[in-house]
């Protein structure tokens, strides 16, 4: 009986009286596994259920009987099972088409034994519903039916739901170990044409414990996640590492095409809870999960988790409605203009587009959303930088440079949105592995991306320095405002220029001892490209990420002959008398003492009464002397009042 012509009398009885003996009621649809090759005809298009819900017994039988049903096209989306579709000794009689390349299909695609269709996850359902990829046979795995005759798609709704609704014949592997999940996961037995009963464990996706690099990436990503955010993340070491650093967050939501075991930890820690979701999304929403039996047991009949098809979850408009949507996805390489390659290594296809572009664009449209691309700074062997001058020949641009916002490595993050090519190149060089920064800068100059005289922060021996994150801190002013203090970065040049140009002419005289009218690149660049050893500069910033401005700056310059460092400070007029200068001096003094510097000295004009007052009230014995109309000062750290 065709599923589009159900036995209405039988189904009415099921709805009224319940379904305790479902096998007896639907025995006419039960099939022996050996008859699969009789149902499938040569030349048909076959869809295999996705991810960890792949019907392994049906798939194994399909492979076993392929000689009887040649020339079929098999559609895969993230096939994870251990069934071997290809043999070096016996070529496959099927033509495979991967919509996303999983590990079991990777070699076949690279060797030309399988096709690959590059497509965004949100575009797959229309591909099927329009008939462009008409599905003749769908092989799926579901839970046993409930008393009303509904089976659940369990851990994978994604595109399975769309395929079931449009396939000519649906063959189900009914598995008592498949969880019953809520949302748009239910399919009535009338829609299923044939079924087999197989009680077997589901495929489990196991992930390695995050390594140090992944944990550092996770730490930086967590800094971008504000309380009240809605998160989407992929699978693997980096998402697992991110979760470890979200335990101190509050009121998070999950709206993601996929999630794994780590979400349970966030729920158990109270980071995600029903109370926090009242004013936002009422449930965790996803399209599928990939994880362990612990995860599968947790989502079983759990009303806190709602599954929806890909056509809903990956709809950019739906994503954009989420408050503070954070999308976290992985890249293989990023070039200096911000182009992201995620699906290939050169000409070799590696994975696929998936939902990456959907969520990056949806997050960009979300109110206070943050699209994030993450990648280690080098390949696993450390022999190649994954931030590159230009993408390799054949590398696919999964995310165009105009769509890219945040890029994160273990050395920090760069916000590229709205930045010039020069700014992008410098920001990305700043989070590349230090041993590749010099060569990246050289290529950036060759490509005319940056100033010809652009320099990197280096030691006196010419070694590229690493940004000293440990010196970052927040300071609350008397008025309750928060200023974030950190070491200057060589990408802060424009921000420092803006600080200087904000000064009145009188203030410029007090700071630079002359009515300086301009602050060109050649003069400002050395002030931000410091070595953090003999030269240190601290800046105080306010404002949201990407809109911040420097309100205070201070620096020291070491005279190695005397082991004393000269200091200088600048504070925006509207931020004075709030303790910022004193705070900068405290930070610089602590750093200088760690470096073994003896003390500070400098000069100040007699008219600069506020600065003189600050110096006089420091906990050190400050010595003053007049010199040609200026006041010279000095103090040693050990010589305290």
Check whether residue 251 and residue 363 sit in a common domain.
yes
Check whether residue 428 and residue 524 sit in a common domain: no
Instruction: Clarify whether residues 20 and 150 are in a common domain.
Output: yes
Q: Do both 304 and 354 map to the same domain?
A: yes
Distance CA 566, CA 324 (A): 44
Q: How far is CA 605 from CA 61, 506, 509, 555, in A?
A: 88, 12, 9, 18
**What beta strand segments (E) does 456-563 contain?**
473-476, 482-487, 535-542, 549-559
Distance CA 359, CA 365 (A): 10
Q: Give the DSSP H or E segment for 341.
A: strand 340-341
Domain assignment of residue 2, yes or no? no
Residues 230 and 256 in one domain: yes
* Whether residue 533 sits in one domain with residue 430: no
Please report whether residue 324 resides in a domain. Answer: yes
Same domain, 270 and 417: yes
Whether 83 is in a domain gets the answer: yes
Mean pLDDT over 32-38 rounds to 92
Q: What does the alpha-carbon distance between residue 505 and residue 514 come to, in Å, rounded to a whole number?
A: 9
Q: How confident is the model at residue 2 (pLDDT cuts 50, 70, 90)?
A: very low
Mark whether 188 and 219 lie in a shared domain. no
Q: Rounded to an integer, what distance in angstroms lies between the CA atom of residue 603 and that of residue 572?
A: 20
Catalytic residue among 61, 257, 493, 586: 257
> What is the model's pLDDT at position 1?
37
Q: What is the pLDDT of residues 195-210, one digit of tens each?
A: 999 999 999 988 888 8
Per-residue DSSP letter, 2? -
Tell me the CATH number at 233. 3.40.1080.20
Domain encompassing residue 320: 212-446
**Position 207 in a domain:** no
* Average predicted confidence (pLDDT) for the chain: 90
The question of whether 257 is a catalytic residue gets the answer yes
**Domain end call among 382, 414, 446:** 446
Determine, yes or no, domain membership for 453: no
The CATH code of the domain that includes 527 is 3.40.630.30
- Listing DSSP states for 194-262 in one string gives EEEE---PPP----PPP-HHHHHHHHHHHHH--TT-EEEE-SSHHHHHHHHT-TT--S-EEEEEEE-TH
8 A C-beta contact, residue 353 and residue 342 = yes
Q: Are residues 329 and 221 part of one domain?
A: yes
The reply to whether 360 and 217 lie within a common domain is: yes
What pLDDT digit, counting tens, does each position of 352-408 carry?
A: 888 899 999 999 999 999 999 999 999 999 999 999 999 999 898 999 999 999 999
* Residue range 478-534, pLDDT digits in tens: 889 999 999 999 999 999 999 999 999 988 888 888 889 999 999 999 999 999 999
Please report the sign of the dihedral spanned by the C-alpha atoms of residue 91, residue 92, residue 97, residue 103.
negative
Place of tokens 């829609």: 191
The domain tally of the chain equals 3
Range of weakest confidence among 144-158, 198-212, 275-289, 506-520: 275-289
- Other beta carbons within 10 Å of 62: 24
């Amino acid at each position: 009986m065709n599923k589009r012509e159900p036995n209405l009398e039988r189904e009415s009885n099921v709805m009224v009286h319940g379904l305790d003996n479902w096998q007896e009621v639907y025995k006419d649809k039960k099939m022996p596994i050996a008859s699969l090759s009789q149902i499938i005809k040569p030349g048909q298009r076959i869809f295999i259920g996705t991810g960890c819900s792949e019907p392994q017994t049906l798939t194994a039988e399909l492979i076993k009987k392929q000689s009887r049903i040649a020339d079929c096209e098999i559609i895969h989306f993230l096939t994870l099972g251990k069934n071997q579709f290809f043999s070096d000794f016996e070529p496959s009689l099927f033509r495979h088409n991967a919509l996303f390349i999983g590990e079991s299909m990777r070699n076949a695609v690279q060797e030309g034994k399988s096709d690959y269709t590059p497509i965004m996850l949100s575009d797959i359902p229309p591909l099927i519903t329009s008939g462009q990829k008409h599905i003749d046979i769908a092989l799926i795995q579901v839970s046993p039916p409930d008393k009303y005759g509904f089976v659940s798609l369990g851990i994978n709704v994604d595109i399975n739901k769309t395929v079931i609704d449009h396939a000519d014949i649906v063959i189900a592997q009914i598995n008592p170990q498949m969880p019953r999940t809520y949302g748009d996961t239910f399919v009535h037995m009338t829609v299923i044409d044939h079924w087999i009963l197989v009680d077997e464990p589901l495929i489990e996706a196991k992930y390695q414990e995050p390594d140090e690099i992944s944990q550092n990436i996770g730490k930086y990503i967590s800094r971008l996640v504000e309380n009240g955010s809605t998160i989407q993340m992929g699978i693997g070491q980096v998402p697992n590492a991110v979760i470890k650093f979200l335990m101190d967050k509050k009121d998070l939501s999950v709206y993601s095409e996929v999630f794994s075991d780590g979400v349970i930890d966030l729920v158990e820690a109270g980071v995600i809870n029903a109370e926090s979701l009242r004013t936002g999304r009422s449930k965790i929403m996803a399209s599928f999960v990939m994880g362990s039996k612990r995860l599968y047991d947790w989502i079983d009949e759990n009303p806190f988790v709602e599954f929806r098809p890909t056509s809903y979850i990956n709809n950019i408009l739906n994503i954009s409605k989420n408050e503070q949507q954070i999308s976290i996805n992985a890249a293989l390489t990023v070039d200096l203009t911000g182009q992201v390659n995620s699906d290939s290594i050169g000409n070799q296809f590696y994975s696929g587009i998936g939902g990456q572009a959907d969520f990056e664009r949806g997050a960009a449209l979300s109110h206070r959303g943050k699209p994030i691309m993450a990648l280690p700074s080098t390949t696993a062997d450390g022999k190649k930088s994954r931030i590159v001058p230009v993408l390799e020949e054949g590398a696919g641009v999964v995310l165009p440079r105009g769509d890219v916002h945040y890029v994160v490595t273990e050395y920090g993050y760069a916000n590229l949105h709205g930045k010039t090519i020069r700014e992008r190149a410098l920001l990305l060089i700043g989070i590349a592995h230090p041993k590749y920064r010099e060569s990246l800068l050289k290529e950036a100059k060759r490509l005319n991306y940056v100033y010809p005289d652009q320099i990197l922060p280096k030691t006196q021996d010419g070694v590229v320095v690493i940004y000293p994150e440990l010196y970052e801190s927040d300071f609350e002013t008397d008025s309750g405002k928060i200023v974030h203090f950190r070491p200057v970065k060589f990408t802060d040049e424009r921000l420092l220029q803006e600080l200087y140009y904000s000064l009145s002419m009188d203030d410029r005289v007090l700071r630079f001892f002359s009515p300086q009218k301009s602050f060109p690149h050649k003069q400002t660049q050395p002030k931000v490209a410091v070595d953090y050893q003999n030269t240190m500069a601290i800046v105080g910033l306010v404002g949201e990420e990407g809109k911040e401005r420097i309100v205070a700056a201070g620096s020291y310059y070491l005279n190695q002959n005397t082991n004393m460092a000269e200091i200088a400070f600048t504070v925006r007029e509207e931020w004075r008398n709030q303790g910022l200068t004193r705070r900068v001096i405290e930070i610089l003094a602590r750093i200088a003492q760690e470096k073994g510097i003896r003390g500070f000295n400098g000069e100040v004009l007699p008219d600069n009464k506020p600065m003189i007052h600050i110096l006089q009230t420091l906990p050190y014995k400050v010595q003053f002397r007049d010199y040609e109309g200026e006041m010279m000062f000095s103090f040693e750290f050990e010589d305290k009042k």
